[in-house]
Every structure is written in structure tokens, then in C-alpha cells.
Amino acid sequence: MNTVNNYTHSTVDLVPADSSHPMDNNGDSTDPWPGIKNVFSTPDSDPYNGQVSGINSTGFAFASGQVNFYVTQIAASNNVSIDKALNYPNPSGPDYPVNPVKPNGTLTTLVFHFTRAPQDMNVVIYNMAGEKIKSVAREMLLFSAAPSGNYRWVYEYDWNGRNDEGEEVAPGLYFYRVNADGKIKVGKLAVAR
């Protein structure tokens, strides 16, 4: 809910009488709250006056009737800029150990630092010939709840080294281009197999 502490808004929690999980129909035609997200960040967390709140809620976990979540407040500027674009490991390849907190098959992680949460964001990976290899929509970029060293908004994408068709890309150099609210930054990565 969009709110700030100095305003009162009535809210109602719905509890299913049949003990079904309330998110079972999330996103389908019977969803009572279409558009509800499991990540609550700018612009959705901004107050009614449109000011940037800098509040981001992530990490919702449902277990045995309890809900755990994390609220992080990060400084946010009025305009987005891309402070940093990097990936690790670089070069990526089979010699790197499996990271238990990353999805299986992750070849490299793309990391982007912003001065605020972008409203519109995407990443495209290109080969050296300039051909599009992989498109990454905003929904696939995960907000990192751990604060960065410079207290910026950090988004990550764990790439498995596959193109949009699901095929493994060839070893070589690639470029990635992040577009966040019209601001663009380009980085390069190497794939070793």
C-alpha cells in the first residue's frame, strides 16, 4: 500500500476460510489483486505526493503460517543514473566453483548500481558482431537487499550463458547494455568453456 506515516489508511487483510494459500492464484484470472508484486520498491513505495521514498521491501518468505520480510531504506535521488555496471566472475567459465546462493548453472552475475530504483529497465547481451544474444526484462533483474558499499540501489541478474533460445553461447567476448529510464551503460564479459 502506498502510504506514509503521517496519513491514516484503512487496510483489510483477507484470510481464506478454506486454509488455501492466498498466492495460489497470483497472476491468473481469479487473482483478487491483479498487479500485486512480491517486491515493493519505487515507484510503488512512493508516498501519494510523488516523492521518492527510498524504501524497498524484499525477501518475502511464507512458512508454517508466518511471514518474514525485510524492509530496507536506501538514499534515492530524484533522477536515476547508473553508477556501476559489472559482472563476476569475469571471465566466466567452468573452472569457477559453484556458488550455493546462486541458481544452478549460473555462469556469471551481472550487477548494476543505480542512484534510485529505475521505473523502466532492461539488459541486452550482444555478441561481438552486434547481434542480440539474450534479452533480460526488468522482472528478471533481482533487487539485492544487502546494502552496497555506497548505499546504492543494486540489481543483479544470474546468467547461465544461454541465449534467448536456450542454447549455450560460444566462448568469446560479449557486451551487455543496461537501459534504465533512458540512461545507458555498456559493459563487456568473457565466456570461457
Query: Which residue numbers in the chain have pLDDT < 70?
Result: 1-75, 94-99, 145-151
Cell of 36: 500485486
User: Which helix (H) or strand (E) element contains residue 188?
Assistant: strand 183-191
Q: What angle do CA 14, 15, 17 make, to 5 degrees?
A: 130
Q: Return the residue matching grid coordinates 550463458.
A: 161
Domains of the chain, by residue range, sit at 82-191
Strands (E), 64-180: 66-73, 82-88, 108-114, 121-127, 132-137, 142-143, 153-159, 172-180
Mean per-residue pLDDT of the chain: 74
Q: Which of 1.20.1740.10, 2.60.40.4070, 3.30.70.100, 3.40.50.970 would CATH assign to domain 82-191?
A: 2.60.40.4070
The whole-angstrom separation of Cα 110 and Cα 159 is 7
Q: What is the pLDDT of residues 20-39, one digit of tens each?
A: 554 555 555 665 555 555 44
